[in-house]
Amino acid sequence: MQVPARPTTLTDFLGEAAAVLEAQGWKVSRRHPEFDAPWHLAARKGEKWRLVQIMLPASAPAQCQEARRVLGEVAQMPARLGSMEQWMAHVRPDGRVTFGPYTLNPQLWGNDTTALERLGLVAS
């Protein structure tokens, strides 16, 4: 049995996250591979969007909390448009990647009804 190559870079983890989204029926339409981007993947299913921010393994709790704050402030997506999520990446001993998702509360952050237009995610 061949052990999968262990992901080490943000680009590796973005590829793994995109595969998870696509397996769930989402179409990844945007990628931001910069480490400090507020969100890394934007995926669409029907009229709903998911903005996903990836946190690398062993990220400090304060770093994760600050990144969630930035995601919420930048995205400000209401629940009727989609979700804003932070995915914590984990590499299992056998090399497989799993993600622990955290969904931001749209009642606190989702107050911009023009979020899709502002973020350049206007449905086509």
Q: Looking at residue 60, what is its pLDDT?
A: 96
Q: According to the model, what pLDDT value does residue 11 have?
A: 94
pTM summary value: 0.90
Tens-digit pLDDT string for the chain (124 aa): 566 678 889 999 999 999 999 999 999 999 999 999 999 999 999 999 999 999 999 999 999 999 999 999 999 999 999 999 999 999 988 888 999 999 999 888 888 889 999 999 975 4
- The Cα 43–Cα 52 span in angstroms is 8
pLDDT at residue 5, as a whole number? 74
* Domain 10-109 part of CATH 3.40.1350.10: yes
* Spatial CA neighbour of 50 closest among 118, 101, 107: 101
